Amino acid sequence: MKYKISLFLVLIFVLNSCQNEDDKRRAENEKEAKKKEKIFDNINKAWIFIDEPINEVSEQNVRNWAEWRNFLDEIGEKPRKTIGAFQKKSAAISKRAMALNSNIPTQFNQPQIKSRISILITKIKMMDLFIHLNQIPDEKVTFLIGDINKELVSLERQMDKIVEKSKIPKEQGEADFLRMLDTTRAIKSTVVAPVPEKKIDQNPPKVE
């Protein structure tokens, strides 16, 4: 009889423990789900990129520079519903950003443009890295979205500066002066041998 009672008590204890474990696991799952939901909401609210050209130069690039057009199209499409969709979109944006190093228009193939493209790519790759972590640091992701927008504006303004500078007319005579400098540099310098001085006879012949 005592054996049956002990077995019954052990059975109740085991069932109670299993129920407690289930309740604990359920609570942890709910907590994790709420955490992921909060991360999704934060990223979803912050996921706004400047996909419209901010000046006429950038707008012209959309028509003439395929990589720039594809990049702006990519950042303009906002993912929906799941964090997985954001991860997929982030990888696609990173790929489009890397392509900006290709086929840069001749007018913009300059160090100041290349450096800004490089910084933009670095920020996007960092965002892509963070959003693919198991524990996503949503604060860093949202901060980088703001930084990426700043770099976009900086890049487009630099393009505009280059175009505006190319429109400034040269001052009158400047082109001729520069051409003359080039011609002067092209002429080889020649050394002129000095003409020896004639010695004057200090004792002229006497006339008798």
Count, residues in the chain: 208
Q: How far out from the chain centre does Cα 192 lie?
A: 59
User: Which pTM was predicted?
Assistant: 0.70
Backbone angles phi, psi at 6, to 5 degrees: -65, -45
Task: Give the number of other CB atoms < 10 A from CB of residue 140.
Answer: 15
For the chain, give percent helix, strand, coil, nearest 5.
75, 0, 25
Q: Give the Cα separation of 155 and 61 in Å (integer).
A: 12
Using an 8 Å Cβ cutoff, are 101 and 113 in contact? no
Radius of gyration of the chain (CA): 38
Q: Which residues of 41-68 are buried (b: 16+ CB within 10 A; e: fewer)?
A: eebbeebebbeebeeebbeebbeebebb
Each residue's pLDDT tens digit in the chain (208 positions)? 656 666 666 667 666 666 666 666 777 767 777 888 999 999 999 999 999 988 998 989 899 899 999 999 999 999 988 999 999 999 999 999 999 998 899 999 999 999 999 999 999 999 999 999 999 999 999 999 999 999 999 999 999 999 998 888 755 555 565 566 555 555 554 555 555 555 555 555 554 4
CA separation, residue 138 to residues 39, 57, 88, 97, 200 (Å)? 6, 34, 16, 21, 99
Q: Give the Cα separation of 36 and 180 in Å (integer).
A: 70
pLDDT of residue 113: 95
63 residue type, one letter: R
